[in-house]
Amino acid sequence: MAISDRMEAAVRSGDAAADLALYADDAVLVRHQSGTTMTKAQFGERIRKMGASDSTDTGSRRLICENDEILAVHSINDDPDDIREAVLMACTLTGDKTCRVETGATPLQK
């Protein structure tokens, strides 16, 4: 099963453990909107918070590209902090794990 399919299933079910299992232990997340870089432990907290909240909605996610090296997905996200964003997520893949995630987010009105 493709990483995008496993990611989508984990996000839709709110299964943070399954979602985090898709990332290498030394994975990093680069957030271009804020200019910050987070470790897996740091972005894992956010994934767990979003998975546990009834107000999280990733809307319709669109797979742009997936091959052995990269995964690119676009989505409209409503998160527990009452923020709505259009998010482009580009993941660098190594084997069956994501080792680097870069996101660009555009704030949207609710």
Mean pLDDT value across residues 92-110? 92
pLDDT tens column, 36-78: 999 999 999 878 876 665 655 667 789 999 999 999 999 988 8
CATH of the domain at 84: 3.10.450.50
Domain count, the chain: 1
Mean pLDDT value across residues 82-103? 93
pLDDT category at 79 given cuts 50, 70, 90 is: confident
Enumerate residues 6+ apart whose C-beta is below 8 A from 49. 80
Range of the domain at 61: 3-108
Predicted confidence (pLDDT) at residue 10 exceeds the cutoff of 70: yes
**CA dihedral in degrees (20, 21, 25, 29; nearest 10)?**
-30
Regarding predicted confidence, which is higher, 56 or 2? 2
Predicted confidence (pLDDT) at residue 101 exceeds the cutoff of 80: yes
